Amino acid sequence: MKVVQTEIPDVLLIEPQVFGDERGFFYESYNERVFLEKVGISSHFVQDNHSRSVKNVLRGLHYQIHQPQGKLVRVVVGEIFDVAVDLRKSSNTFRQWVGRYLNAACKQQLWIPVGFAHGFVVLSEVAEVLYKTTDYYLLQDERCIQWNDPDLAIAWPIQEKPILSAKDQAGKSLQEAEVYM
């Protein structure tokens, strides 16, 4: 496993060791001991999520304010552009974002620690995203920041208007958003 820091050092790109031959491939998508040794994080995952979306669906930017979640994100079908926004007021990278292309072919994963908003846009015809979380989902705890907030100026790699849920259409501006201490 190779671990690469992004522009926000706490957000990590994880490249698994993939064993492949004419039959296909095999890799460990998660091993708690190796994750602790190589990544240095001992987060305990309590929930696995799986989403399937069509091209131009944009999900996010989501976070939970009182029961925050760390997320380990990977794509098993298609390709996405995945984004993490630092909402930790005490951080040197507060209100900055980092984005990475994730796809089924490269098998990379993105570690998004507690204290970040998360979102992605689907670039392929279909994408399936799997992610582990360090805390349980609570509807009443979820918050959403506008995907196109001008203060964030996220460079989403899309040409068309994205397909959004009602929840994501009603997201708050970064200035109005609740943040972590």
- Please provide the distance, in angstroms rounded to a whole number, between the alpha carbons at the two ends of the chain: 32
Known catalytic residues are: 62, 131
Domain architecture of the chain: domains with CATH = 2-169 (2.60.120.10)
pLDDT in tens, 59-73: 999 999 999 999 999
pLDDT in tens, 32-86: 888 888 888 778 999 999 999 999 999 999 999 999 999 999 999 999 999 999 9
The pLDDT score that the predictor gives to residue 99 is 98
Radius of gyration of the chain (CA): 16
pLDDT in tens, 155-170: 999 999 999 999 999 9
107: annotated binding-site residue?
no
Contact 92, 123 (CB under 8 A): no
49: annotated binding-site residue?
yes
143: annotated binding-site residue?
no
pTM over 0.85: yes
Residue 60, exposed/middle/buried by CB under 10 A (0-12, 13-18, 19+)?
buried
Question: In the chain, where do the E strands start and end?
Answer: 2-5, 12-15, 19-21, 24-26, 47-54, 58-64, 71-77, 79-86, 97-103, 109-112, 116-122, 126-133, 142-144
44: annotated binding-site residue?
no
71: annotated binding-site residue?
yes
Nearest to 179 by CA among 103, 98, 65: 65
Residues 6+ apart with CB under 8 A from 19: 25, 26, 27
